[in-house]
Amino acid sequence: MSHSAYRRYITYSPCVTLYTLGVKERVRVRESYSIKFLYPPTKSELYKENITYAASIELFLHNIHSTQSSASILTLESSRDRVFALMLLSDFSPYTIQALD
């Protein structure tokens, strides 16, 4: 079968084009509500990943689901979740946090 047989176009608005294994797809991009952890410059990537992951577990314990998109960014499902996460996590000392637009 040729690549054109596997080509699928799913159109939504807003959307983004993904190229995976030579297949062009358009998939829906949901609004993202992210927070960024600001660490001291002396901290390693492993340290940042572990502390950010621990913060996501803390949020999960409060029924807030998140995904970790980098060593210092968590993406949440709603604006309400982001505000609650900012309030909950702002008291921890290894980092400061800010909302990403």
pLDDT in tens, 23-57: 555 544 567 899 999 999 999 999 999 999 999 99
For residues 49 and 65, membership in a common domain is answered with: yes
Query: How many structural domains compose the chain?
Result: 2
Mean pLDDT of 8-19: 41
Question: In this structure, are 54 and 24 located in the same domain?
Answer: no
Count of Cβ atoms closer than 10 Å to residue 72 Cβ: 19
Are 83 and 94 found together in one domain? yes
Same domain, 24 and 57: no
Assigned token pair, 56: 């996501």
Residue 82 has pLDDT above 70, yes or no: yes
CATH of the domain at 76: 3.30.70.260
Task: Answer yes or no: do 43 and 68 share one domain.
Answer: yes
- The residues near 67 (Cβ < 8 Å, ≥ 6 apart) are 56, 74, 75
Residues 84 and 39 in one domain: yes
pLDDT reported for residue 21 = 52
Is the domain of 22 the same as that of 66? Answer: no
Strand pairing category for 15-20 and 66-70: unpaired
Q: Which domain holds residue 20?
A: 1-30
